[in-house]
Every structure is written in structure tokens, then in C-alpha cells.
């Protein structure tokens, strides 16, 4: 069953998702109103509901596509590559995502802050097993003496925390730095952190 869409459908659906991402990522699910989304998308509320059956549906579709792109960088961690290079590359990819997709990062943060009511299963399922797998890879590297002995789970958490911080807490970071672009400095600093940490 292939879904065919007219150009208008294509355009309006993506305008709605774009607007929804804007608003949901700032106010969370409950704090967002359909009127806000409709306004941001340049549509009337009934017209918006012609393309999506409910507020839930918009949010669900956003979360779904988010989860895919969110796990991709970790998937790409290659057990046959050079260990430290692989991890530093992962850090870089995650930092790039914070720079290029800050709204996605905040949408995810909002969902987790609320206790992950809509993606709890993905966390204990898909996410956990992916992390378990990659933690094993890192354990292998440690055993082979290629990487310093660190807890692989907390290593992964720290990569998430440090990179997503620049998207989720952007306002705070910029307030403290006085408005300068934080990312060049962040990249240098994170490289330094993980290089010194992981050197065997």
C-alpha cells in the first residue's frame, strides 16, 4: 500500500511538521496548542486537522522520525575501525547534530523530562539493546588495550550529555558566553576531553 500525495499535501504536511517541531520542542506536548501550530504553519486550525487527525498524530510522527535519526550516529560506530578515532567521530557527529538540529534535540529532551510517556518502550527496547551492543564493542577495545579502562555506559551517557547540552541549554550557554558561537570552542574542548580520557 503506497501512499501517494499531491504536491499540496506534501507541502502542507511538511509545513505542519516543521511548525510542530518548532512549538513542541519549546513547550512540550501539553504546553503546545493546535492554534500555535496552525499559526506557525500558516494554516487554519480545521485545515491543519485535515492533514493530521489530531495533535497526538503530529507529535507521534515527529517523535518517530526523530528516533530514527537520533540513533543513526551510534549505529555508525564501527567495531572494526580505529577505536579512539571511532569514538571521537561519534562525538563529532553528535555535536554536529546539536548544531544543525537543535529543535530535534529539545523535542527529545522534553519527552524524556516528562518521563518518556510516549517512547518509554523504545528506550528499554531499541535504545537499550543498541547501547548494550556498542558497550560490548568498547569493552573489547579496552580489553585489547586500545582504549583506557572506562565504564562504557557512562562514557556513552557523557557523550550524549556533553553534546546535547549545547542544543538543549543553548540560551544559557550563549548568555554566559555573551552571544558568541559556542560550537567551535565546544568542538575543541570535547576533543580534548575524550582524547585525554581515552588514551590508554
DSSP secondary-structure letter at 117?
Answer: T
Which of 22, 26, 39, 146 is close enough to bind a second copy by CB under 8 A? 26
Beta strands, E only, the chain:
none
Regarding 183 and contact with a second copy (CB under 8 A), the answer is: no
- Provide the minimum distance between the beta carbon of 148 and a second copy in the complex, in angstroms, as a whole number: 8
d(Cα 58, Cα 24) in Å, to the nearest integer?
Answer: 10
DSSP secondary-structure letter at 81?
Answer: S
Regarding 2 and contact with a second copy (CB under 8 A), the answer is: no
The binding track of 62-101 with respect to a second copy, each residue x by CB under 8 A or -, is: ----------------------------------------
Which of 133, 172, 181, 200 is close enough to bind a second copy by CB under 8 A? 172
For residue 42, the tally of other CB atoms under 10 A from its CB is 12
- Local structure of 60: helix, strand or coil: helix
Q: Which does 136 bind (CB under 5 to 8 A by kind): a second copy, DNA, none?
A: none
Q: Are 66 and 108 in contact (CB under 8 A)?
A: yes
Q: Identify which of 134, 150, 140 has the alpha carbon closest to the alpha carbon of residue 193.
A: 150
Q: Which residue has the cell 512549538?
A: 23
| Closer of 52 and 70 to a second copy (Cβ) | 70
Regarding 53 and contact with a second copy (CB under 8 A), the answer is: no
d(Cα 191, Cα 185) in Å, to the nearest integer?
Answer: 10
Binding residues vs a second copy (CB under 8 A): 25-32, 106, 109-110, 112-116, 120, 123-124, 127-128, 131, 148, 150-151, 153-158, 160-162, 164-166, 168-169, 171-173, 175-178, 185-186, 188-190, 192-193, 196-197
Amino acid at each position: 500500500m503506497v501512499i501517494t500525495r499531491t504536491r499540496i499535501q506534501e507541502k502542507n504536511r511538511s509545513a505542519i511538521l516543521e511548525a510542530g517541531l518548532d512549538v513542541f520542542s519549546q513547550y512540550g506536548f501539553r504546553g503546545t496548542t493546535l492554534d500555535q501550530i496552525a499559526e506557525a504553519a500558516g494554516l487554519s486550525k480545521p485545515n491543519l486537522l485535515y492533514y493530521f487527525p489530531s495533535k497526538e498524530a503530529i507529535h507521534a510522527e515527529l517523535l518517530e522520525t526523530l528516533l530514527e535519526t537520533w540513533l543513526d550516529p551510534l549505529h555508525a560506530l564501527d567495531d572494526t575501525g580505529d577505536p579512539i578515532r571511532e569514538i571521537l567521530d561519534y562525538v563529532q557527529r553528535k555535536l554536529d547534530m546539536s548544531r544543525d538540529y537543535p529543535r530535534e534535540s529539545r523535542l527529545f529532551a522534553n519527552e524524556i523530562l516528562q518521563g518518556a510517556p510516549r517512547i518509554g518502550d523504545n528506550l528499554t527496547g531499541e535504545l537499550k539493546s543498541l547501547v548494550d551492543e556498542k558497550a560490548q564493542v568498547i569493552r573489547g577495545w579496552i580489553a585489547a588495550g586500545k582504549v583506557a579502562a572506562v565504564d562504557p555506559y557512562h562514557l556513552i551517557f557523557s557523550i550524549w550529555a556533553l553534546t546535547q547540552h549545547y542544543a538543549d541549554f543553548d540560551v544559557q550557554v550563549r548568555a554566559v558566553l555573551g552571544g558568541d558561537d559556542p560550537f567551535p570552542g565546544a568542538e575543541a574542548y570535547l576533543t580534548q576531553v575524550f582524547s585525554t580520557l581515552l588514551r590508554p
